[in-house]
Structure 1
Amino acid sequence: MSDSKGAASGFARKLGEIIQLKRGGAVVMTSAGPVQIGSPPETIKDSMRYDFSVPSIYILPSRLYREEWGVSLAELEFPVYFNFFVLKRKTVIVCEKSQRARAEEVLRESVFGPETIDLTADYPRDTVPFGLPDLKREMDYFRRNPFKGGDLMQMEDLVTFVELRPDGETPVAKGHAVTVRRGKNAVGVRDGDRRTEVPESLLAPQIEPPPDTPQSFEPPLFGVTCLGASHGFDATEPTSGFVLWVNHRGIMVDPPANSTRVLESFNINPKHIQGLLLTHCHADHDAGVLQKCFQETKITLYTTPTIFKSFIRKAVALTDLPAVNLYDLFDFHPLSLGRPNRIGGAEVWCNYSLHSIPTIGFQVFFEGNSLVYSSDTLYDPERIQKMHETGVMSRDRMSSLLDFPWHFDMIFHEAGVPPLHTPASVLAKLPDDVKKRLRLLHTDMRDIPPSSGLRRADRGVENTMSLPVRPSYRTEAVKTLDALSRVDLFTDFPIEKAKEFLAMAKIESYKSGDAVSLAERREIEPQKFYIVMSGQVELRYEGRSIVYDAYDYFGQTTILLKQARRSSLYAKTDVQLLTLTEHDFHHFIRGTTVATRLIRLARVRSTGSWDLLSESRIFSRLSTTQKTQLEHILEPWDCGPRTHLQRPGAVPTAAFIVRRGQVNALQARKTVCRLSTGDFAGDAVGLFNQKPSKLGFVSHGVVEAYRVGGSDLKDFLNRNPGLHYRLMDHEYVFGGGKRSGARSKHAF
């Protein structure tokens, strides 16, 4: 087996060779050419860098979406485009019969867009906006088949589906003795007498650790950090996506695949991201949305109702979950067109751009500054004029598209591959003063005309573009209240408490390496409660350390339990802290349950809960904040041998996390797995549905565990849908042991 390090090396490939792709998936070399198993986002970039052609045969694995990797393995849009428009051939998709309709749905929404368009919900009631688009007619214009005299492209023009035979081998390549057979957690490819077995574990993306960037990033009041600036067919550069900063909080626009790791590599704390904005449902724009939601806490999603419905249809097809369950992954914030939307204190106006599926661009106004993003669009005055003349669009629609706000302070415009995108040559004709304020996105550097004066947006926090905003008297108060609202302890506090906090809290700043508080100075330093506003703080105690990020809190235990401070605090990066003195902290939480909850948390932590969660196969991926939230609902619980934690056939009322000892997981009265330290013993599906569970859990010897009550666990998982989704998968929960059954579709 070889990997992506062999890309473009020029040596001859051997038949039967397996190439593990960097972004996920694997290729088997056959006499019919490369055959790819799994098609993750941006897989075309891997294929284009190799010394073999882009595959024409794709085999879908047993699961189209792998939540533990955060990756879809059925993103076929770009391979289909490349095979059809460049190589002038169909793509062969090999799948189970039950997967075909799902794969077709994903492709249909990506390539052709919604079958019907009704923009009523996207505009204010009783409003007739200027330039209301006929999106269906525009989509049909882009859907014309260039090889069939302009007829509308159909699915059968692009792909051929081959359904796997339930028993035996399935031929997949005409004129070649290449067959495919699906095994348990593996795919077998036979080429004549040569057999190749590909375990599905090889389809995981090859994750590179983020570089060591110790200095934290302080978001601007108003600006943009570019995460990627190229398009889906550029094999050398990341796909476009950026963070829009308003009031120091970020909106990630069209998060690229693996956006969580991109943020890590830029040292952008994910807690600075308040939401996602989705402009449309092409794979190079929406691939990171589902991933972001499954990996982290519930997040706000901004888009129009039309685009949201399209995204949900794709997500249902990929995950095989009911739509009603997927709604629980997001706090959906519908964006209206024809009136302003309020996001993070800014005024945002949206418009439908000219593209092959419903797509929005937007304008942002904040503290006297303006920013515009074209999104994917065809801005070509000559083409737009002809589209009006041939009846594709109205005069008002033509005028609205041509009237682009080139006078704005900051301009981000795409310049992708025509005819779906704006030719860079058109933008090269803009006045020089416009080009100084313009940055290109969705653009291959090689396509920018030399000496045109055009510049592509530069990636990275060091290249963050910000507009000069003079902090108002509200700025510090907004930042302080934002930090307070992020602390789960205080989310339900009334407005009177917020006023108290503003009056009592102090902001302390430290440089990287500074001592914030030293254990040896505990007799002379006052006790304090801390909230991290920005940066990182390292707590050191008896040779161990804990790193606190933005919006984490600490110091409450020593205050409430009246303990002598035994740890020291150091600024790991430049840091800003909100602090309350011991007296003010007691005053702030008086009359609330916070003290009781924090004392309970301290006692649970004294039993080793933090270390257990940090080392657990199930829970180690949780953030510091998520682990703290979980610790709040843990209750130490012990039992002797052969004790039923949960009986088969009973409605679950609790779940357990094993501290010490072993627990047998039962199904049909048979042991299917033995759970140990850090494992989850419970049926999340049965607990949520309040229906009898087919699973049982019995102690194997003396067991020490943490018990989590049913209502507490439901509340926690509702706020953390990524963990919820993983706990639905019994095979994942049982550590890959004997299969206990497929994921329930009554999930959330």
Structure 2
Amino acid sequence: MKTATATNIHMGEVYALPRGGYLVETIEGYIQVGSPPETIKDTMGFPQGVPQVFCLPNKFFNRDKAISVAEVEFPLYYNFFIKKRKFIIVCLKKHKQIFQRVIREALFGPENVDVSKDFAPDTTLPIPNMKKELAYFVGFKLEEVVQFYTLDNENSVKVKNCVISLNSKQEYEILDLGTNKSVTIPPEITYNVIYDIGKIPQEPFKPPVLGVTCLGPSHGFDPKDNTSGFIIWINEMGIMVDPPVNSTEWLMRSNVNPKLIDAIILTHTHADHDTGTFQKILEEEKIDIYTTHTVMDSWINKYSTLSEIPPGELRSLFNFKPVTIGESINIKGAWFQFRYMLHSIPTVGFNFSFRNKTFVYSSDHLNLPDKFDELLEKNIISKKRYQELSNFPWHSDIIYHESGMPPLHTPVSYLNSLPVETQKKMTIYHIAAKDFPSETTLTLAKFGIANTRITNMARGPFQEAYSILDTISKIDLFKDFDFVKIKDTLSVIERKTFKAGAIVIKKGTPGDYFYIVESGSLAILREQKNPPKDTPLANSIEKDLSTSSTVKRYGRYQYVGEVSLLLNEPRTVDVYAETDVTLLAIEKTSFLNIIKGTESEERLKNIALNRDQQSWEALSCTPFFNTLTASQKTELETLLKRVEVKSDMYLFQDKKIVRELYIHHSGNVEGFNKHKAETIHYKTGDIIGNYKEFKDSLKSSLICQASSKAILFKIEKDNFDRYLKRNPGVYLRFFEALS
């Protein structure tokens, strides 16, 4: 299938859009099927522009990428506000109510909104009448904005001069009555990552004590630049603010370890500000999300609806850190204060102080004195709210301010009229480069890790200990340690540095140290025929790949070297410094003493025994687990129990409660599914058991028996449930397997 461009679209043919979804030109104009995020940036430059008619796929959430493939928010805005026409959605009847709810949340904000719950009980700050403020921006009804065409009992509907139907394969068929041509659209909506990656540093990124990295400087209608969002670095750790779609993938490609960022500030729930949040949640371990109860409830309503994950389960995938307006909250060592800004849905901005520096971010905000006067005159805001809005903290050392078209945003002309000394402190977001004034002392946000704006600031007196504690706090082995145990661990840690290409662990030598990567990366090269001597590691990896051997990498917050210490056996692999690397090292005797008698000791022994039986290889052959990160696989290995099954032994019997799953390693195992009346022959890496029955402790529909001696790895339900709660991304894959 051809990919659509501005010059190759012809009547009556199906084209794949660059970012995903499909486009058909009809006598009535374009019709789009499926709408992953930012496909509007594909179609804005086409001859007929952004389509008016969108067909929603039957499956509208891509759980692999953690994004909606029915993202209609920005196409709707474009049609209604810019083209001055109704937006048309074609969907199944059961999906109409779902998307009415999603669109209503994005356009009008929460129903019966009351933000008083977000304020400190004794606050002296004005509590805005959010209903009045939102109503000022929204002078229309949902039915004036969007028209739904639902497929009838025949799975067909007439839209203008086209008949759109859904066949038994869940494929859309579009018949153009004007040309009498019919086309069929594939049922699966693909999604392709497109973004400017910028200049990639050769070495892994080392965060500053204080700085800001721009993830995108522009807005959702700019096809030439990334959508706005940024990372604040505080104490060498990152906080994402409204991450745009694909932020995590961009970070990894930019040589930035995503684990450096374990917190998000969510300002509001417009698609250009909240789409990347779900992706970050499902990346690996649980993250912290800071926002108000009102904004969080709105986000949960929206994404629970889109993902079909129940609200309670969705909330369990991250740590919600509610912010209270009128109180300060410490995040990464900086003191933050939040406030409600002036926007079409509830939106928070914030400021913080860190040592001797102050920072303010406006978020999406109509910061225009004339508008404040109008709102006060119309009794939409109180006198105290007027004073709060008028007293924006321009005195801050660092000012990050959005800009765009009023009435939803602050016009750049106003910001450019402020005193020069204020402008010099200001970085502008959410604006296309073409709209930025040529004569100004304002600074336009510049995308990319190489353009990180660093505030010169010395490391604090306890920064070294802070950094080590941050690293070991993210190691699963140490997470349950009490303060005394952490203090003991800190007292025996050594720092070791290695240049790129240096041997860190030599195969066949006695195990002497346990290593945690603090910065840089390590590589394990297996089955090398010609181990490198004085050649750079990059060359050795290239040589290793040419002989089809395995390459395994470890980055920050990952550990290596534990197996030989526990088993008191020689090292089994060569480990090299892939880049210049700093390691936290614990000598063997100290390490064994620290973990002695802890749950970590048992888990590590389990890893050691399982590795000897090739559990890693079995997991790597399992489609369900082969996409896990090294850390996730390692943690899963601690839960596996190796079992030897004799011939004719039953693993599952009819109507017995399912409390475990098995991963097949070797031997002959067969299963019979009575519902499907089919026999299953399992091979290495296959999961034996029914996911749904395992999750819900249901009676087995599977009769499973070994026909020879077999070696399996067992996962027990209670252990796996705890593992899923700690690893949201694995949870989502499991949820997908159930459905």
Q: Which TM-score applies when normalising by structure 2?
A: 0.92
Match of 1:76 in 2: 72
C-alpha change, 1:203 and 1:30, in structure 2 (3 Å) is: farther
Q: 1:242 aligned to 2:219?
A: no
The letter for the 2-side match of 1:301 is I
C-alpha change, 1:394 and 1:698, in structure 2 (3 Å) is: farther
Question: How far did residue 579 of structure 1 move?
Answer: 0.5
Q: Deviations over 1:437-493 (max 9, x none)?
A: 211111111111111222211111211112233222221111111111111111111
Whole-angstrom distance in 2 between the partners of 1:638 and 1:165: 55
Match of 2:678 in 1: 671
Match of 1:636 in 2: 642
1:58-137 superposed matches below 5 A = 58-125=54-121, 127-137=122-132
C-alpha change, 1:435 and 1:511, in structure 2 (3 Å) is: farther
Give the secondary structure class of the aligned counterpart of 1:203.
coil
C-alpha change, 1:702 and 1:586, in structure 2 (3 Å) is: closer
C-alpha change, 1:696 and 1:283, in structure 2 (3 Å) is: farther
Match of 2:136 in 1: 141
Whole-angstrom distance in 1 between the partners of 2:648 and 2:47: 59
The letter for the 2-side match of 1:2 is K
Whole-angstrom distance in 2 between the partners of 1:84 and 1:161: 14
Q: 1:35 aligned to 2:20?
A: no
Match of 2:173 in 1: 188
Question: How far did residue 654 of structure 1 move?
Answer: 0.3
Give the secondary structure class of the aligned counterpart of 2:421.
helix
Match of 2:536 in 1: none
Q: Is contact 2:341-2:347 (8 Å) kept?
A: yes
Q: 1:465 aligned to 2:453?
A: yes
Whole-angstrom distance in 2 between the partners of 1:235 and 1:341: 37
Q: Is contact 1:15-1:30 (8 Å) kept?
A: yes
The letter for the 1-side match of 2:721 is K
1:429-578 superposed matches below 5 A = 429-519=417-507, 522=509, 527-543=512-528, 544-578=550-584
Q: Is contact 2:335-2:353 (8 Å) kept?
A: yes
Q: Which TM-score applies when normalising by structure 1?
A: 0.91
Q: Is contact 1:69-1:205 (8 Å) kept?
A: no
Q: Which segments of 5 or more consecutive residues in structure 1 lack a partner in the other structure?
A: 145-152, 734-742, 744-748
- Among 639, 649, 656, which residue is 2:655 paired with? 649
C-alpha change, 1:349 and 1:61, in structure 2 (3 Å) is: same
- Among 7, 19, 26, which residue is 2:5 paired with? 7
Question: How far did residue 568 of structure 1 move?
Answer: 2.8
Q: Is contact 2:79-2:86 (8 Å) kept?
A: yes
Match of 2:269 in 1: 281
CA RMSD of aligned residues (A): 2.3
Question: How far did residue 61 of structure 1 move?
Answer: 0.8
Question: How far did residue 553 of structure 1 move?
Answer: 0.7
Q: Is contact 2:156-2:163 (8 Å) kept?
A: no
Give every structure 1 segment of 4 or more consecutive aligned residues whose post-TM-superposition deviation is greater than 6 Å. 207-212
C-alpha change, 1:515 and 1:85, in structure 2 (3 Å) is: same
- Among 676, 692, 708, which residue is 2:699 paired with? 692
Which has the larger displacement, 537-546 or 133-142?
537-546
Whole-angstrom distance in 1 between the partners of 2:502 and 2:151: 63
Give the secondary structure class of the aligned counterpart of 2:188.
helix
- Among 606, 610, 616, which residue is 1:610 paired with? 616
Q: Is contact 2:109-2:344 (8 Å) kept?
A: yes
Q: Is contact 1:507-1:576 (8 Å) kept?
A: yes
Give the secondary structure class of the aligned counterpart of 1:271.
helix
Whole-angstrom distance in 2 between the partners of 1:590 and 1:189: 67
The letter for the 2-side match of 1:230 is S
Match of 1:738 in 2: none
Match of 1:338 in 2: 326
- Among 624, 629, 635, which residue is 1:623 paired with? 629
Q: Is contact 1:658-1:706 (8 Å) kept?
A: yes
Question: How far did residue 588 of structure 1 move?
Answer: 1.8
Whole-angstrom distance in 1 between the partners of 2:507 and 2:696: 49
Q: Deviations over 1:220-261 (max 9, x none)?
A: 112211111100111111101111112211111111111221
Question: How far did residue 70 of structure 1 move?
Answer: 1.9
Give the secondary structure class of the aligned counterpart of 2:269.
coil
Q: 1:719 aligned to 2:726?
A: yes
1:79-478 superposed matches below 5 A = 79-125=75-121, 127-144=122-139, 153-172=140-159, 174=160, 176-192=161-177, 193-205=180-192, 214-478=202-466
C-alpha change, 1:197 and 1:698, in structure 2 (3 Å) is: farther
Match of 1:45 in 2: 41
The percentage of aligned residue pairs carrying the same residue is: 36
Question: How far did residue 566 of structure 1 move?
Answer: 4.1
The letter for the 1-side match of 2:131 is K
C-alpha change, 1:34 and 1:665, in structure 2 (3 Å) is: farther
C-alpha change, 1:600 and 1:469, in structure 2 (3 Å) is: same
Give the secondary structure class of the aligned counterpart of 1:435.
helix
The letter for the 2-side match of 1:719 is R
Match of 2:533 in 1: none
Whole-angstrom distance in 1 between the partners of 2:195 and 2:618: 26
Q: Deviations over 1:526-556 (max 9, x none)?
A: 7111011122111234224321111101111
Question: How far did residue 135 of structure 1 move?
Answer: 1.4
Give the secondary structure class of the aligned counterpart of 1:396.
helix
Q: Is contact 2:398-2:425 (8 Å) kept?
A: yes
Whole-angstrom distance in 1 between the partners of 2:265 and 2:655: 44
C-alpha change, 1:663 and 1:585, in structure 2 (3 Å) is: same
Give the secondary structure class of the aligned counterpart of 1:2.
coil
Give the secondary structure class of the aligned counterpart of 2:175.
strand
Q: 1:591 aligned to 2:597?
A: yes
Give the secondary structure class of the aligned counterpart of 1:558.
helix
C-alpha change, 1:89 and 1:507, in structure 2 (3 Å) is: same
Question: How far did residue 636 of structure 1 move?
Answer: 2.2
Give the secondary structure class of the aligned counterpart of 1:502.
helix
Q: Is contact 2:201-2:450 (8 Å) kept?
A: no
C-alpha change, 1:32 and 1:460, in structure 2 (3 Å) is: same
The letter for the 1-side match of 2:176 is D
Whole-angstrom distance in 2 between the partners of 1:297 and 1:693: 31
The letter for the 1-side match of 2:641 is E
Q: Is contact 2:474-2:557 (8 Å) kept?
A: yes
Give the secondary structure class of the aligned counterpart of 1:313.
helix
The letter for the 2-side match of 1:122 is D
Question: How far did residue 200 of structure 1 move?
Answer: 2.4
Q: Is contact 2:566-2:608 (8 Å) kept?
A: no
Give the secondary structure class of the aligned counterpart of 1:716.
helix
The letter for the 2-side match of 1:186 is E
Q: Is contact 1:131-1:398 (8 Å) kept?
A: no
Whole-angstrom distance in 2 between the partners of 1:255 and 1:393: 31
Question: How far did residue 645 of structure 1 move?
Answer: 3.0
Whole-angstrom distance in 1 between the partners of 2:64 and 2:704: 24
Q: Is contact 2:116-2:127 (8 Å) kept?
A: no
Q: 1:709 aligned to 2:716?
A: yes
Which has the larger displacement, 49-58 or 76-85?
49-58
Question: How far did residue 315 of structure 1 move?
Answer: 1.3
Q: Is contact 2:36-2:191 (8 Å) kept?
A: no
Question: How far did residue 78 of structure 1 move?
Answer: 0.8
The letter for the 1-side match of 2:346 is P
Match of 1:739 in 2: none
